[in-house]
Structure 1
């Protein structure tokens, strides 16, 4: 069974999608943008500021579905300027413990809403105690 999920507290989608889709104990999380959940406005600050907001939005979704950054299996990072690769990596890295999940980073010519950073994830949902 596939469970399509909208998460309370996460930014509202700017396109037609669910925040996450759960299949058994895996959750596929839609790419999060640097959208401020309280206002649903795009944070168009520095790459550092945008990456923090993206990771905070992912944390909101992970928490609601019963997972955590420790259980992320795979992530994809999309950035509009590869000149900021190391800056984005430093912020991204700060949200994880060792060992790190698998990851792909893709340089793109543009992202929705004028954002410069987007990250999507696949995570494991551990059984509840």
Structure 2
């Protein structure tokens, strides 16, 4: 088992690793739309992009990319943004991993989106 902290993603906002590698699986902790400098983009589309880019940076740290993702969990504070989220998501995920989107009332740092993934090294 390997615990991963990436220098290319924002520092975790709590006591956890960016990811944990177990054999061929990589479990990426929930990522919020915070950039490395701590900034949170204003536009929803940019926040979705920031979340996905954070996930990508962490996967790259262990030699993987988004095409290795097999499961995605998304937390949205406003489910009316579901279609807007999907428009951005589809640009990044050409293969369609298993996915769930959950409506929530609160997220860390007051953000409106968080994403966690499971990736597989084949």
TM-score (norm 2): 0.95
- The equivalent of 1:117 in structure 2 is 113
- Once the two structures are TM-superposed, the CA of residue 44 in structure 1 deviates from its matched residue by 4.6
- The structure 1 segments of at least 4 consecutive aligned residues displaced by more than 6 Å after TM superposition are none
Whether 1:83 and 2:65 are equivalent positions in the alignment is: no
- The equivalent of 1:23 in structure 2 is 22
Write the mapping of 1:44-55 to structure 2, written as runs, cut at 5 A.
44-55=41-52
- What is the distance in 2 between the residues matched to 1:90 and 1:51? 10
- What is the distance in 2 between the residues matched to 1:52 and 1:10? 13
Write the mapping of 1:56-95 to structure 2, written as runs, cut at 5 A.
56-95=53-92
Contact kept, 8 Å, 1:32 with 1:54, in 2: the verdict is yes
- Once the two structures are TM-superposed, the CA of residue 6 in structure 1 deviates from its matched residue by 0.7
Task: For structure 2, list consecutive stretches of 5 or more residues without a partner in the other structure.
Answer: none
Q: What SS is found at the alignment partner of 1:53? A: helix
Q: CA RMSD in A?
A: 1.1
- What is the distance in 1 between the residues matched to 2:22 and 2:63? 13
- What is the distance in 1 between the residues matched to 2:44 and 2:72? 18
TM-score (norm 1): 0.90
Q: What SS is found at the alignment partner of 1:122? A: strand
- The equivalent of 1:104 in structure 2 is 100
**How many equivalent pairs are there?**
122
Deviations 1:70-99 (A, max 9, x none): 11010001110001000011111110113x
Task: For structure 1, list consecutive stretches of 5 or more residues without a partner in the other structure.
Answer: none
- Once the two structures are TM-superposed, the CA of residue 47 in structure 1 deviates from its matched residue by 1.8
